[in-house]
Structure 1
């Protein structure tokens, strides 16, 4: 049986309140759980002491038994200490590919860049062609002014 330490949502519509629970990984998010070990109220200020309440001893006990905290709960547990050290060592995840556009989006961007480049080249050629013709027309005008 795979155990998770996770959040179970409570509260009413638009007023979330979460219980930090130990549950079987296969159980529904808000369904059956083994033990409630804390609470989380996201509506309170981040520096409020009542925002996250966790029984650190129980959390450490469940982790020793093999329960895996979810990412959010691991973040909470990293700030809680038992016997002078954090219950969980949490580090910020690093996913550099997350911000990159997908393959199709990259193809569309390349097509747009190619079209813009072709349009700019055509405009440059069009601007260069009349510029070459203009000096030829200006030369006969100078001859007429001399006579």
Structure 2
């Protein structure tokens, strides 16, 4: 029996979602399957895979389809669906601070020395 790991379509019309299943390669796409090992939703950009079970089935000789193999690699690498790294939210929330140009300092006015002289005269 040639076992495959492939997508099984679920969901409504024009709103596809898939289950990642282990099935006999001769059974129809949405037909009989052995085990569900994950889900894939391209509309909501969500995917879950039980990597432990996938590794077990691959060790038993199951062949993943090309699409499922790409999903497995992406989940193992931790890359979100869409392939772009998402920067942390804290970095996006802080706007860059404007760089203020330094103005030439005006000469500070020196205090009048008269009070000091007055202090000396009173003594």
TM-score in terms of structure 1 length: 0.51
Deviation readout 1:47-66 (Å, 9 max, x if unpaired): xxxx1100000000000000
State the partner residue of 1:57.
52
Deviation readout 1:30-84 (Å, 9 max, x if unpaired): 0100000000001014xxxxx1100000000000000000000000111233xxx
| Whole-angstrom CA distance in 1 between matches of 2:56 and 2:74 | 16
Q: How many residues align?
A: 78
State the partner residue of 1:66.
61
TM-score in terms of structure 2 length: 0.60
Residues 1-147 of structure 1 aligned to structure 2 (within 5 Å): 1-45=1-45, 51-81=46-76
Give the RMSD, CA atoms, in angstroms.
Answer: 1.6
Deviation readout 1:88-126 (Å, 9 max, x if unpaired): xxxxxxxxxxxxxxxxxxxxxxxxxxxxxxxxxxxxxxx
| Whole-angstrom CA distance in 2 between matches of 1:35 and 1:4 | 11
Q: Which has the higher helix share?
A: 1
SS in structure 2 of the partner of residue 44 of structure 1: coil
| Whole-angstrom CA distance in 2 between matches of 1:32 and 1:63 | 19
Structure 2 unaligned regions, length at least 5: 78-123
Structure 1 unaligned regions, length at least 5: 46-50, 86-147
SS in structure 2 of the partner of residue 58 of structure 1: helix
SS in structure 1 of the partner of residue 52 of structure 2: helix
| Whole-angstrom CA distance in 2 between matches of 1:79 and 1:58 | 16
